[in-house]
Amino acid sequence: MEVQHDTANIRLTASETAHLWTTYMSDSCAVCISSYFIKIVQDPDIRQIVTYALDLSRKHISAITDLFNTVNHPIPLGFTDEDVNLNTKRLYSDSFMLIYYRFMGTFGLNSYGTALGMSVRSDVREFFARCIHSSTDLLNKVDDVLIKKGLFVRPPYIPVPDSAEFVKKQSFLHGFFGDKRPVTSMEIAYLYFNAQTNSLGKSLIMGFSQVAKSKEIREYMLRGKEIAKKHVEVFNSILTQDDIPSPISWDADVMDSTETPFSDKLMMFHITVIIGFGLAMYGLSLSTSMRSDLVLTYTRLMAEIAKYVEDGANIMINHGWLEKMPVAPNRKELAHV
């Protein structure tokens, strides 16, 4: 992925620095995970997906390194070969890898779109535009393989309305007393998506809990698994009330290996990234939900996740694992106040 340096004499803004730094960290983690997946994958079609994803992450790291070098910005340490052990047993199935990359592709599209909108330098904008294109390409490749293998599970359908309608009563917004109206198509979309992502996260973190070296990390992962399980049940119960089908589980795609392919540091970081995306999606879901009980549900679940993230951050700090994102200077400290 080539980077143009026509604006190399222009400083990076705080938002550009933040998104480039975050992308570098995530992709250095992704290189470790995809390198392990390459080692254990068996299906040739899925191997092509993993190879493509690994190549994208390496290109991103190279391009971001070039961009940081234009302003002499230090390169993040991120994750290296020391954070992955390729000579371990299989922890996840091939089909799990497909679902995992579909989720990560969706995550990439959201984060890259935001980064592009907050960037000014032409070379940075070009980089994130390419990231959006490659994430779209990855999603399309994954979906083609999922459909080919009969593994693609479509979101729910609803009947086509006879005509356009307008809301006539304030009860459309109610969700606590009396008869609740059925969920809207937008509410269904986010309920289903959040149930899906929590189900995938539950399976991923279940695998991590089996292989983490530290008892503290294993217990943290098990706690996360229970939180994800509860959130899946909450979303599924809301869908079920209106006879909307629920997503499937991928727990069966987690093997019984207890050999450690990833460092505890990498697994803690990866879970933090996924939960951060989940929090963002809960916020978006809340903003598009018009039934009062759904708004309260998302608010309550967000508070629970935020507490889990805080506890995880404290664990990482205590172990010296939390690499610090670039911050603004402390002017009082500089002034010796």
Structural domain boundaries of the chain? 14-148, 171-318
Q: What is the DSSP letter of 257?
A: -
* Distance between CA atoms of residues 82 and 66, nearest Å: 23
- What is the pLDDT, as a whole number, of residue 79? 98
Q: Does the structure show a pLDDT above 80 at 175?
A: no
Classify 122 as helix, strand or coil: helix
One-letter amino acid identity for 284? Answer: L
HSE of 259, CA atoms in CB hemisphere, 13 A: 13
Equal CATH topology for 14-148 and 171-318: yes
* Distance between CA atoms of residues 212 and 232, nearest Å: 24
- 265 within 8 A of 25, measured Cβ to Cβ: no
What confidence tens digit (pLDDT) does each residue in 209-258 have? 999 999 999 999 999 999 999 999 999 999 999 999 988 889 999 999 99
More confident residue, 6 or 322: 322
pTM greater than 0.85 (yes/no): yes
- 56 within 8 A of 5, measured Cβ to Cβ: no
Fold classified for 14-148: Ferritin (1.20.1260)
Which residue, among 158, 36, 45, 23, has the nearest Cα to 104 in the 3D structure?
23
Query: Residue 124 corresponds to which tokens in the numbers above?
Result: 């940075």
One-letter amino acid identity for 73? Answer: H
Fold classified for 171-318: Ferritin (1.20.1260)
